[in-house]
Structure 1
Amino acid sequence: MHHSSAAVSGELTKPQTATAPLQPLLDLITNVLSLLLLSSLTVRSFIGRWQILRSKLFSLTTSLSSLSDSPHWSQNPLLHTLLPSLLSNLQRLTSLSDQCSSASFSGGKLLMQSDLDIASSSLSTHISDLDLLLRSGVLHQQNAIVLSLPPPSSDKDDIAFFIKDLFTRLQIGGAEFKKKSLESLLQLLTDNEKNSRIIAKEGNVGYLVTLLDLHHHPLIREHALAAVSLLTSSSVDSRKTVFEEGGLGPLLRLLETGSPPLKTRAAVAIEAITTDPETAWGISAYGGVTILIEAVRSGSNEVQEHIAGAISNIAAVEEIRTNLAEEGAVTVLLPLLISSSTSTQEKTASFISLISSSGEYFRDLIVRERGLQILIRLVQESSNPDTIEHALLSLTQISAMDTVSKVLSSSTTFIIRLSELIKHGNVILQQISSSLLSKLTISDGNKRAVADCLTSLIRLMESPKPAGLQEAATEAVKSLLTVRSNRKELIKDEKSVIRLVQMLDPRNERMGNKELPVMVVTAVLSGGSYAARTRLMSLGADRYLQSLEEMEVSGAKKALQRLAAGNRLKSIFTRAWKDH
Structure 2
Amino acid sequence: MYNDFLPKTMKNNMVEDNNSLLVVPTHSQQIQESLKVEKPTTQKVIEEISSLISLSYSIKVFSAKWQLIRNKLEELLSSLTAIENCDSNNNLEVFSTIQAITETIKDCHDQANQCLELSYTGKLLMQSNLDIVSGKLEKHKKDILDIDNVGLLTHSYAIEVSRPNIVVASRDDLRFYILDLFSRIKIGSVDMKGQALIAFNEVIQEDERYVKVASEVDNFFSFLVHFLDSQEREIQENAAKAVSVIAGFESCKSLLIGVGIIAPLVRVLESESELTKEFATKCLQKLTENADNAWSVSAHGGVTSLLKMCDNEENHGELVGSACGVLKNLVIVQEIKRFIIDDDAIEMFIKLVMSKVEVIQISSIDFLQTIASGNESVTKLIIKEGGVRALISVLDPKLSSSTKGRQIALRGIMTLCISSENPLSILISHGFLDHILYFFQFGDFLNQELALKAAFWLCGTSEEAKNVMGYVGFIPELVKFLGSKSFEFREMAAETISSMMTIPRNRKRFVHDDQNVTLLLQMLHPEETNSVNKKLLLSILMTLTSCNSARKQIVDSGYFKYIEKLAEDEESDAKKIVKKLSGNKFRSILNGLWHS
TM-score range for the pair, normalised by the shorter chain length: 0.5 to 0.7
Corresponding position of 2:170: 155
> Mapping of 1:72-471 within 5 angstroms?
75=85, 85-91=97-103, 117-123=131-137, 146=160, 148-152=162-166, 154-173=169-188, 175=190, 177-189=192-204, 191-192=206-207, 195-202=210-217, 204-213=220-229, 216-232=231-247, 235-238=249-252, 241-274=255-288, 283-284=297-298, 286-298=300-312, 300-302=315-317, 303-315=319-331, 321-381=337-397, 383-400=401-418, 401-409=420-428, 411=431, 412-417=433-438, 419=440, 425=447, 430-439=452-461, 440-443=465-468, 446-448=471-473, 450-456=475-481
Counterpart for residue 121 of structure 2: none
**Paired residue secondary structure (2:172):** helix
| Residue matched to 2:541 | 521
Out of 24-33 and 252-261, give the one that drifted further. 24-33
1:474 corresponds to:
498
SS at match of 1:540: helix
**Deviation, structure 1 residue 494:** 5.0
Give the Cα separation in 2 of the matches to 1:432 and 1:22. 82
Change (3 A) 1:366 1:28: closer
Contact 1:271 1:313 in 2 (8 A): yes
Name the CA shift for 1:198/1:536 in 2 (closer, same or farther; >3 Å): farther
Q: What is the CA–CA distance in structure 1 between the aligned matches of 2:34 and 2:197, rounded to whole Å? A: 27
Secondary structure of the residue that 2:396 maps to in structure 1? helix
| Structure 2 residues not aligned, in runs of 5+ | 1-31, 49-60, 111-123, 145-155
- Please give the root-mean-square deviation of Cα atoms over the aligned residues, in Å: 5.4
SS in 1 for 2:473: helix
1:307 to 1:497, Cα distance in 2 relative to 1, 3 A: farther
Q: Out of 192-201 and 472-481, give the one that drifted further.
A: 472-481
What is the distance in 2 between the residues matched to 1:336 and 1:31?
63
Answer yes or no: is the 8 Å Cα contact 1:389–1:428 preserved in 2: yes
The change in CA–CA distance for 1:470 and 1:170 in structure 2 (over 3 A counts) is farther
Paired residues of 2:39 and 2:84 also in contact (CA < 8 A): no
Q: Which is further off, 526-535 or 88-97?
A: 88-97
Shift of 1:195: 3.2
Does the 8 Å CA contact 2:581/2:587 hold for their aligned counterparts? no
Which amino acid counterpart does residue 431 of structure 1 have in structure 2? K
The Cα shift of 1:448 comes to 2.6
Deviation (angstroms), 1:95: 10
- Secondary structure at the aligned position of 2:506 is classed as coil
CA distance in 1 between partners of 2:254 and 2:271 (Å): 24
Instruction: Specify the code of the residue in structure 1 equivalent to 2:85.
Output: Q
Q: 1:357 to 1:385 in 2, by over 3 A?
A: farther
Letter aligned with residue 434 of structure 1: F
Deviates more, 1:351-360 or 1:485-494: 485-494
Measure, in 1, the Cα distance between the counterparts of 2:299 and 2:525.
59
Which residue of 1 is the match for residue 523 of structure 2? 499
Q: Is this contact kept in 1: 2:42–2:84, CA < 8 A?
A: no
What is the rounded CA distance, in whole Å, between the counterparts of 2:415 and 2:386 in structure 1?
15
Q: Which has the higher contact order (CA 8 A, sep 6+)?
A: 1
AA aligned to 2:404 is D
Corresponding pairs, count = 500
Q: Aligned equivalents of 1:500 and 1:462: distance in 2?
A: 15
- 1:113 deviates by 8.3
TM-score normalised by the chain length of structure 1: 0.67
327-336 vs 177-186, which moves further: 177-186
Judge which range, 362-371 or 416-425, deviates more: 416-425
Secondary structure at the aligned position of 1:526 is classed as coil
- CA offsets per residue over residues 116-167 of structure 1, 9 Å max, x none? 734444448979999xxxxxxxxxxx97763654454543322211212322
Distance 1:96 1:383, change over 3 A: closer
Q: CA deviation at 1:24?
A: 0.5
| CA distance 1:492–1:321, shift in 2 (3 Å) | same
Instruction: Spell out, residue by residue over 1:516-564, the C-alpha distance to the aligned partner (whole angstroms, 9 max, x if none).
Output: 4443112333321212333375342144356557xxx5x6665444433
State the TM-score, normalized to the length of structure 2. 0.66
- Report the CA distance between 1:462 and its aligned residue: 6.5
**Counterparts of 1:497 and 1:325, CA distance in 2:** 55
In the alignment, structure 1 segments of 5+ residues that lack a partner are 1-18, 36-47, 99-109, 131-141, 575-580
The answer to which of 427-436 and 468-477 deviates more is 468-477
Rounded to whole Å, the distance in 2 between the matches of 1:409 and 1:470 is 24
> How many angstroms does 1:85 deviate by?
2.9
Q: Distance in 1 between matches of 2:499 and 2:526?
A: 19
SS in 2 for 1:246: coil
Aligned to 1:10: none
In the TM superposition, what is the alpha-carbon distance from 1:460 to its structure 2 partner? 10
User: Displacement of 1:91 after TM fit?
Assistant: 4.4
Query: Bigger shift: 84-93 or 527-536?
Result: 84-93
Deviation of residue 294 (structure 1)? 1.9
How many Å separate the matches in 2 of 1:95 and 1:286? 40
Percent of residue pairs identical: 21
Query: What is the deviation of 1:375?
Result: 1.0
